[in-house]
Copies of this chain bind each other. A is one copy, B any other.
Amino acid sequence: MPEEKLGILIPGIGGAVSTTFVAGVERVRRGLSVPVGSLTQLGSFTKNNEELPVSEALGLATLDSLAFGGWDIFPENLHEASLKAGVLKQSDIDKVKDFLEEITPMKAVFSKEWVKKLDGTHVKAQKGHRALIDALKEDIATFKEKNKVDRCIVIWCASTERFLAPSKVHSSLEEFEKGLDENSPDIPPSMLYAYAAITSGVPFVNGAPNLTTDTPAFNQLTEKYRVPIAGKDFKTGQTLMKTIIAPGLRARLLGLQGWYSTNILGNRDGLVLDDPGSFKTKEESKLSVLDSILDPDRHPELYGDFYHKVVINYYPPRGDNKEGWDCIDIFGWLGYPMQIKVNFLCRDSILAAPVVLDLALFIDLAHRKGMVGIQKWLSFYFKSPIHNKGELPEHNLFIQLNMLEEKMREMA
């Protein structure tokens, strides 16, 4: 009996992260590469003193069962888009050219209002929130049928929208649906995608810092449709390092006086974040991580007064090779100061691709297990884990890992 197929639908499928993810999965399927960075493919966990491989122990969808589709504001097929992204070497891409050429983005829902720095050419003509949602839902249905796919998930790999504070329209499902009817200006494209997915019974994962499903309205919606969600903002370069190092300082009770983080990046992501509106969304996401790790309330003498600054600068020479520089001012015994500087020459999409894979497989598992709403155990993968009202997000990477392993043990 052949395995059921799982469809992975990606807003922003033509971007650097998505193309690196899709081309990579196909390379792995052909035995050409190793899916480094993926816990679902390479990881294991311990249960009753036994070492269990993640994928097998949990019955995750296999790589062979995956089908890919999505939307983009540019019309290029995934082979062209991969080359344009400039992440993988041409020779690596060309070995899966036949496969990539077959994947062509569907027209995107896009508004320059929300992403100032981009000009989309491959955009849906429909007007109005409801019409766009209907078009997206039809896209999902068509994809499933055409690819003979049993189950789907949607994972947002598109751009950071400009900052949006939660307001009345997001405060309940009723208000939100009224907002949809009235074409509320406080409902950005990402919410239309999420609404279309969830009301199609499809889980939604948010890889950007956009508000999207992080609202009471969507909590109610996921309850109603019995669908799991996860987000937000894939934890990759500098913030990943931050949530590794900060727990170390905390473990040793070394004090923190200041943490300056600058990023330079030259890809489309960098261009988008050059707009102050989009940057603010990202900044909020990146600034939040230290407090919950360091717990200034418990240790005001160590963490009560640190200065945290996050800067992102568009710098084209760097391309997708995002580079972070952190200057961390700490203090030790008797308050004497010391400094740590971290220069991370990372590659954004290389770090994000395995995160996309793991999240797709885990959220699908959650769905099959009947889990609904915010999946807190997936915090491990996010800069800004969404959480239920009254709870605090957990940012410490090692506690996040414990939470993930605990849940895996439970589900195994």
A: which residues have CB within 8 A of B?
20, 24, 27-28, 33-39, 42-44, 51, 87-88, 91-92, 240-241, 244-245, 247-248, 251-255, 257-258, 260, 262, 264, 298-299, 301-302, 306-307, 309, 311, 313, 315-318, 323, 325, 327, 329, 331-336, 338-347, 349-351, 353-354, 380, 397-398, 401
* A-B contacts, 25 listed (Cβ < 8 Å): A34-B335, A36-B254, A36-B301, A36-B335, A37-B252, A51-B298, A244-B244, A244-B245, A244-B251, A248-B398, A251-B397, A251-B398, A254-B351, A257-B317, A258-B318, A260-B315, A262-B325, A311-B311, A323-B327, A325-B327, A332-B351, A332-B353, A338-B347, A341-B342, A343-B343
Copies in the complex: 4
Given contacts A240-B252, A253-B42, A318-B258, contact A37 B350 (CB under 8 A): no
Complexed CA–CA distance, A63 and B12 (Å): 49
Question: Which of A258, A313, A332, A380 lies at the interface centre, i.e. has the most chain B CB atoms within 10 A of its CB?
Answer: A332
* Contacts A245-B244, A253-B43; A353 near B333 (Cβ below 8 A): yes
Is there contact, CB below 8 Å, between B333 and A401?
Answer: no
B334 touches A350 (CB 8 A): yes
Instruction: Report how far A229 CA is from B346 CA in the complex, Å.
Output: 43
Q: Is the CB of A335 within 8 A of B33?
A: yes
| A250→B195 CA distance, assembly (Å) | 36
Asked if A254 contacts B342 (CB within 8 A), the reply is: no
Q: Of B43, B248, B334, which is within 8 A of A88 by CB?
A: B334
18 new A-B contacts at CB < 8 Å, known A36-B255, A36-B335, A251-B401: A27-B334, A35-B334, A36-B253, A36-B302, A37-B254, A42-B299, A42-B301, A92-B334, A245-B245, A251-B398, A253-B354, A262-B262, A262-B325, A325-B327, A333-B351, A333-B354, A339-B343, A342-B343
Q: Cβ of A315 and Cβ of B253 under 8 Å apart?
A: no
A338 touches B333 (CB 8 A): no
